A and B are shown apart, each in its own frame.
Chain A
Amino acid sequence: MPSLIAKSPLDGKSLTMGGVTLAEAVPGPITSVAPFAGREAELSQALRSLGLSFPAPNTFNESSGDLIVWTGRDQAFLIGPLLEGLPAATTDQSDGWAALSVSGPDAAAALMRLIPLDLRVAAFPPGRAARAPLNHMAAVIWRDGEGFTLLVFRSMAQTAWHEIETAMKALAARAAVGA
Chain B
Amino acid sequence: MRLNCPLCGPRDRREFYYYGSEDYLNRPAEGAAPQAWDDYLHLRDNPAGVTKDLWYHELGCASWLRVTRNTLTHEILATELVADLKREATA
Contacts and interface: CB of A to CB of B under 8 A. Distances in A.
Interface residues of A, number: 11
Interface magnitude class on chain B: 10 to 19
Given A131-B61, A132-B59, A116 B15 contact: yes
A117 B9 CA distance: 10
A73 B7 contact: yes
Interface in A32-69: 57-58
B14 A133 contact: yes
B12 A73 contact: no
B11 A73 contact: no
Main secondary structure of the interface of A (DSSP, over half): strand
21 contacts: A57-B7, A57-B8, A58-B7, A58-B8, A58-B9, A72-B60, A72-B62, A72-B63, A73-B63, A116-B12, A116-B14, A116-B15, A117-B11, A131-B59, A131-B61, A132-B59, A132-B60, A133-B14, A133-B15, A133-B59, A138-B59
Interface of B: 7-9, 11-12, 14-15, 59-63, 83
